Amino acid sequence: MLSRRKFLAASGALGAAGIGSLVAPNAMSNLLTPKLNYVLNAQQSKWHFGGKIKSPADIFSYQKNTQTPIIYMQQGEQFSCLLKNQLPEPTTIHWHGIRLANAMDGVPFLTQDPVYPGDEFLYQFTPKDAGTYFHHSHFNSLTQLNRGLAGMIIVKEKQQPDFDQDIALNLCDWRLNADGSFQELLIPKKAARAGTFGNLHTTNWQVEPEFIAKPNSLVRVRILVSDVTRIFKLTVNGAKAKILAIDGNPIDEIRDMQREWIGPGMRMDIVILTPDEGQSVEIVNSSTNKPWPVASILSKGQSQKRQWGDLKPLPKNPIEPLDLQGAEIHRFNFSAGLGVQEDLGINCAASEYIFWAINKTSIGHLDPMSPTLRPTAALKLNKTYIFEFANVTPQTHPIHLHGFFFRVLESNRRTIIPHWADTALVKPDETIRVAFKANVLGNWLMHCHILEHQKTGMTGFINVS
Ligand code: C2O
Ligand code: CU
C-alpha cells in the first residue's frame, strides 16, 4: 500500500520543482508551469537521501536544501537564467540537447570562460524545440554531476498536448558511504571499463518514489538518465506503455515500449495507460541481474475512461531536412587511449589517467592556449554530414554531440529505427551512422557521456565555420 510519506515525497519532487521564487501551482498534481527567468545559485548544500544513508550528504545544488530542480522553458519563447557561482570552484551550465547559439552552450574554455567563484553568467536563448532535456554543469563534470548539479529541462510545447498527467523521472545513482560522504568517483580500473557505478539508486533523488495517477488515464512519463555511468534497461510492468519521443524529439511512429536501453544523457518520453483503481504500474530497471523498480504509479481516484485511441502524437520539432545525397562522411573511432593526453590541463579537471580516445586523440581537458588544439572534424556551415561512430572497444558508449540533433540512421549490427537524437548508444564492435546538418557556427563538443570515459580521453569537438 501507499504510504503517505512516500506519496508526499514523490509528488513533492515534482510539485516543488520550480526553483528560486518559482512554485508550481499545485504540489500534488505535477502540473507544469513554465518559468522563463531563473536565478540559479550553485552552492554547497545538504540532502538527506535516507534509507541506508544515515546522514545528510554534502551535495552541490542550485538552491539550498532542495531536490533536483526541473527547469521549465516554453518553446519559441526567450528563456534566461542567471547562474551565480557560490561554490568554491568554477562551474558552468550546459543545456544538453537544446539547440542554441554556441556562446550559450556552457563548455568552459571552448564556448565561454569558466564562471569563477563569486562570478555570474547570464544564459539567454529561445528554445526552438519542445520536449525533455537535461541541464548540468560542464566544469569538473564528473564531480559536479555526481554531487548534484544536474537535472531535467522540460520545454513545453506551443500547444499543450492532451495528457491527464505529466510525470518526470530523473534517474541517478549516488556514490555514497553510509555516513553521507562521497566515495571515490573515479576508480582507474573501472574508468577503463564500464565506469564506477553508484550504490544508491534514486529517482528524483528519492528511493523508489511512488506516484499517484487517475485510473484509466493517459500519463506522460519523461525519463532522463542523469547518472554519469549506468546504462539503464527499462521496462514497464502492470500496464502497456508506448514510446512518444527520444531525446526530446517525437519519433516518427509511436510504438510499444519493450525493453529499452537508455544511457547517460539520454531521455525517453513514454505514455502509460494506467490500470484500474488500486492497481499499480512499475517502471523497472533490469540492466543488472538484480532488477529494481525506479518508480511506481498507483491508480487512484476517478477513472478517466481513456483508451489508446485517444492518444495523439506529439507535434514534431522544426528540424531542417538533411541532404543525405551530398553528405560527406566522417569516421570516428572510439577506442582505448594510447596513454598520452593532448593538452593536459593547466587549471581544471583533467585526469592523470588516459584510457580512451577518439581517432587516436585523447582529450580530457581543453586548453584554449594550446597551439595544438584542433577540432576532431572541421565542417562547413549548412552542409549535411554523416558521422560514422565506430566503437572498437568492449564497452558501450553513449556518444553525445552538443548543439545538434542527428538522425540515427543505421547500425552494422542491429536494426535501428531511424530517429532524431543528441546522444547515441554505440555498442561494442558496433558502427552506427548518424547524419546532421551543420547549421550553427562554432565549436561543439562531442564526447562519451559516461563521464569517466569523457574525462580520461573520450572527448573531441567539431568546428563549424
Ligand atoms: Cu550532457 Cu557535454 O554533455
Ligand atoms: Cu564511453
**Whole-number Å distance between alpha carbons of 465 and 242:** 40
| Element (DSSP H or E) covering residue 145 | helix 141-146
**Ligand 1 near 138 CB (within 6 A):** yes
Instruction: Name the residue among 448, 403, 462 with its Cα closest to residue 141.
Output: 448
Q: How far apart are CA 26 and CA 21, in angstroms?
A: 15
CA of 237 to the centre of ligand 1 (A): 31
User: What is the separation of C-alpha 362 from the centre of its chain, rounded to a whole number of angstroms?
Assistant: 23
Q: Which pLDDT score is estimated for 30?
A: 34
Indicate if 109 and 89 belong to the same structural domain.
yes
Domain assignment present for 230: yes
Three cell numbers, residue 11: 509528488
The domain that holds 264 is classified in CATH as: 2.60.40.420
- What backbone torsions phi and psi does residue 254 show, to the nearest 5 degrees? -55, 135
d(CA 167, CA 283) in angstroms, rounded, equals 12
- Å from CA of 226 to ligand 2 middle: 15
Q: Which ligand is nearest to the CA of 136?
A: 1
pLDDT, tens digit (0-9, with 9 covering 90-100), for 163-199 = 999 999 999 999 999 999 999 999 999 999 999 999 9
Q: Are residues 256 and 377 in the same domain?
A: no
Last residue of a domain, one of 127, 156, 185: 156
Q: 84-137 pLDDT, tens per residue?
A: 999 999 999 999 999 999 999 999 989 999 999 999 999 999 999 999 999 999
How far does residue 209's CA lie from ligand 2's centre (Å)? 29
Q: Residue 141: in which H helix or E strand, if any?
A: helix 141-146
* 19 located within any domain: yes
Q: Is residue 321 part of a domain?
A: no
Q: Which 8-state DSSP code applies to residue 104?
A: G
Least distant ligand from the CA of 192: 2
- Same domain as 250, residue 192: yes
Report CA(454)–ligand 2 centroid distance (Å): 7
Residue 291 located in a structural domain: yes
From ligand 1's centre to the CA of 141, what distance in Å? 9
Distance CA 269, CA 202 (A): 18
| CB 242 less than 6 A from any atom of ligand 1 | no
Question: How far, in Å, from the CA of 110 to the mean position of ligand 1?
Answer: 13
**pLDDT confidence of residue 366:** 65
pLDDT for res 354: 85
What residues contact residue 290 under an 8 Å CB cut-off, 6+ apart? none
Same domain assignment for residues 350 and 381: yes
Q: Is residue 187 part of a domain?
A: yes
Same domain for 152 and 175, yes or no, is no
Would the CB of 397 count as within 6 Å of ligand 1?
no
Q: CA 403 to CA 438: how far, in whole Å?
A: 9
CA angle 404, 407, 411 (to 5 degrees): 130
Q: Give the distance (Å) from ligand 2 centre to CA of residue 335.
A: 9
In a domain, 315, yes or no: no
Of 310, 345, 367, the residue at which a domain comes to its end is 310
State whether residue 436 is helix, strand or coil. Answer: strand
Q: Spell out where 112-192 has E strands.
A: 120-125, 131-137, 150-156, 165-174
Residue 82 sits in the same domain as residue 202: no
Contact in structure between 349 and 366 (CB atoms under 8 Å):
no
Neighbour tally for 342: CB within 10 Å:
18
The SS3 call for residue 274 is coil
Q: How far apart are the first and last CA of the chain?
A: 59
Residue 10 has pLDDT above 70, yes or no: no
Task: Give the range of the structural domain holding residue 347, as residue numbers without chain letter.
Answer: 328-464
Phi and psi torsions of 177, nearest 5°: -85, 165
265 CB within 6 A, ligand 1: yes
Kindly state if the Cβ of 156 falls inside 6 Å of ligand 1.
Answer: no
The verdict on 172 and 300 lying in the same domain is: yes
Verify that 227 and 173 share a domain, yes or no: yes
State whether 8 and 152 are in the same domain. yes
CA of 64 to the centre of ligand 2 (A): 32
| Residue of 63, 57, 19, 58 whose CA lies nearest to 43 | 63
Per-residue pLDDT tens for 411-445? 999 999 999 999 999 999 999 999 999 999 999 99
Q: Which residue has the cell 574525462?
A: 455
Average pLDDT over the chain reads 89
Q: Are 147 and 171 contained in the same domain?
A: no
Residue 249 confidence class, pLDDT cut points 50, 70, 90: very high
List for the chain the helix, strand, coil content (%; round to 5).
Answer: 5, 40, 50
Instruction: Kindly write down the DSSP assignment for every residue of 360-411, as one continuous string.
Output: TB--SS--TT-TT---SEEE-TT-EEEEEEEE-SSS-EEEEETT--EEEEEE
Listed residues 104, 129, 156: the one ending a domain: 156
Identify any residues that bridge with 232 across adjacent strands, giving them in sequence order: 262
Instruction: Determine whether the shortest distance from the Cβ of 445 to ligand 1 is under 6 A.
Output: yes
For ligand 1, whether the C-beta of 180 sits within 6 Å is: no
Q: pTM score, two decimals? A: 0.91
Q: Which amino acid is at 19?
A: I
Q: Which numbered ligand comes closest to the C-alpha of 391?
A: 2
Pick the closest to residue 151 from 200, 210, 204 (CA basis).
204
Asked if residue 320 belongs to a domain, the reply is: no
Specify the ligand 1 atom closest to the Cα of 96. 1
Q: Is the CB of 447 under 6 A from ligand 1?
A: yes
Residue 17 CB–ligand 1 contact under 6 Å:
no
Number of separate domains in the chain: 3
Query: Is the CB of 225 inside a 6 Å radius of any atom of ligand 1?
Result: no
Q: Model confidence at 289, in pLDDT bands (50, 70, 90)?
A: very high
For the cut 90, the answer to whether the pLDDT of residue 400 exceeds it is yes
CA-to-CA separations, 420 to 267, 405, 434, in angstroms, rounded: 12, 6, 9
Q: What average pLDDT does range 338-364 have in this prediction?
A: 65
Residues that place a CB less than 5 A from ion ligand 2: 397, 448, 450, 453
Q: Which three cell numbers stand for residue 13?
A: 519532487
Pick the ligand that lies closest to the CA of residue 356.
2
279 and 152 fall within a common domain: no
Predicted pLDDT at 414 = 96
Q: What grid cell was written down for 226?
A: 542523469
Task: Look at residue 306 and give its three-state secondary structure.
Answer: coil
Residue where the block lists cell 510499444: 256
Q: Closest residue (by CA) to atom 3 of ligand 1?
A: 96
Does the Cβ of 453 fall within 6 Å of ligand 1? no
Residue 451 lies in a domain: yes
Q: Return the ligand number nearest the Cα of 458.
A: 2
Is the CB of residue 267 below 6 angstroms from any atom belonging to ligand 1?
no
Say yes or no: CB of residue 337 within 6 Å of ligand 1: no
Q: Distance between CA atoms of 323 and 342, rounded to whole angstroms? A: 34
Ligand 1 pocket check for 96: Cβ under 6 Å: yes
Give the residue-averaged pLDDT of 137-146. 96
Looking at the fold, whether 233 and 335 belong to one and the same domain comes out as no
Closest-CA residue, ligand 1 atom 1, reads 96
